[in-house]
Amino acid sequence: MAKLAFLGLGVMGAPMAGHLQKAGHDVTVYNRTASKAQDWANAHGGSMAMTPREAATGADFVMACVGNDDDLRSVCLGDDGAFAGMSSGSVFVDHTTVSAAVTAELYAAADALQISFVDAPISGGQAGAENAALSIMCGGDEGAYARAEPILQPYAKLCRRIGESGAGQMTKMCNQIAIAGLVQGLSEALHFADKAGLDGRAVVEVISQGAAGSWQMSNRFETMLDDHFDHGFAVDWMRKDLGICLDTADDNGASLPVTALVDQFYKDVQKMGGGRWDTSSLFKRLQNIG
């Protein structure tokens, strides 16, 4: 078993760290709100630290699951950052969805200290984290990934190295691009069914068994029809992710017209006060305007 640090105990990070502790690893956690770290340690039997550096000192692997580029920099860099406490040969695994630019920056900073850096964003939402069923898409050096991959298994449904540093984040962008279009399509189908006087549940029962079926349809149609939008990834976070996708597309020349349009639809949801609603709230937007 390994000595691990886990930085960030949100709705994803807290259960992920719990799976690592349950698997027999020695886990020390850090969270910006120290009381959350203490509560986690009390509940799971691990340890808590007051700074990322303290958590990372002596750790073989350090995992992070924080909010955005600036949050990730803050837990990695500086006198109290994790890199300052990590030993040569240790591995930093970033589960945050961030820009390719900050991944490149931190990979270089880690490499200068002889620390390995693996970008490993996740998909599967809160339920995936709680049920140890996350998809983990990774970028980084082959040797670093080979060492990290077995450590990630306690919360992984699938874990795969896609390519060199940054490939994990690029793959996560593909994931969010695909989800944006799927959720909008599902929302429009349910909205159309309602306007046509059809039973939405009966419609989904039929079409989900054919080519229209998807994870979003199977897991979100009932809560959408019940006007419940507190089941997973928040609109505020999706807009952050789609912004990263669109900025990256500007750099690499990709054309993302549907993604850009859905991003604006999510902006409408935010204006409705739905920033913390889950991403299926695109349906509620259509209900309000139609």
Q: Could you list the active site residues?
A: 172
Q: Report yes or no: 140 and 187 within 8 Å, Cβ to Cβ.
A: no
HSE toward the beta carbon, residue 120, CA cutoff 13 A: 31
Spatial CA neighbour of 114 closest among 151, 139, 143, 75: 143
Residues 6+ apart with CB under 8 A from 93: 61, 62, 63, 64, 118, 120, 148, 151, 152
Angle (nearest 5°) at CA 31 between 68 and 235 = 40
Sign of the Cα pseudo-torsion (18, 58, 109, 80, in order): positive
How far does Cα 41 stand from its chain's mean position?
23
